[in-house]
Amino acid sequence: MMRLAVVAVLLAAAPAVLHAAPSKPGARSAEERCLDTPGPNIEILNCLSGLTQAQDARLNRAYKAAMGRQKTPAARTALRAAQRAWITSRDEDCMPYYDQVQYGAQGGIEGEQCVLDRTRERADALERLR
């Protein structure tokens, strides 16, 4: 129940931490705070997962907005194809980290960080797309 409350708080606060950047010099980002979470790796993973979910929601909004800005069916088709290719690329880049034989228990955290970083970068790119 406590984990659910933590995730709910993270999601509620997501707009303020979407970029997970420090607000002032010396301040730690939301991602850094997740990585410093005391306790077992699952707590860190849950924290990162909440940030990833917030970035994924941002990505979906940015994609829909970018699709709406495309003037022609061909441009919308091209954007859809690019988004599908990006998903494949993200999965190819990040999913190997989840291999516990190679990366151990830390692999899940590394994989979640990879997905979080790639999702944040793609949302940034779609928000800039005109």
Tokens for 71, please give them: 């003037």
CA distance 101 to 41: 17
CA distance 68 to 129: 11
Domains of the chain plus CATH, in order, are 37-128 (1.20.1270.180)
Q: Give the predicted TM-score (pTM) of the model.
A: 0.75
pLDDT of residue 23: 53
**DSSP-derived secondary structure for 29-52:** PHHHHHHT--S-HHHHHHHHHHHH
CA distance 48 to 130: 30
CA distance 39 to 42: 8
| Tens digit of each residue's pLDDT, the chain (130 residues) | 333 333 333 333 344 344 445 456 777 888 888 888 887 888 999 999 999 999 999 999 999 999 999 999 999 999 999 999 999 999 999 999 988 888 887 888 999 999 999 999 999 999 999 8
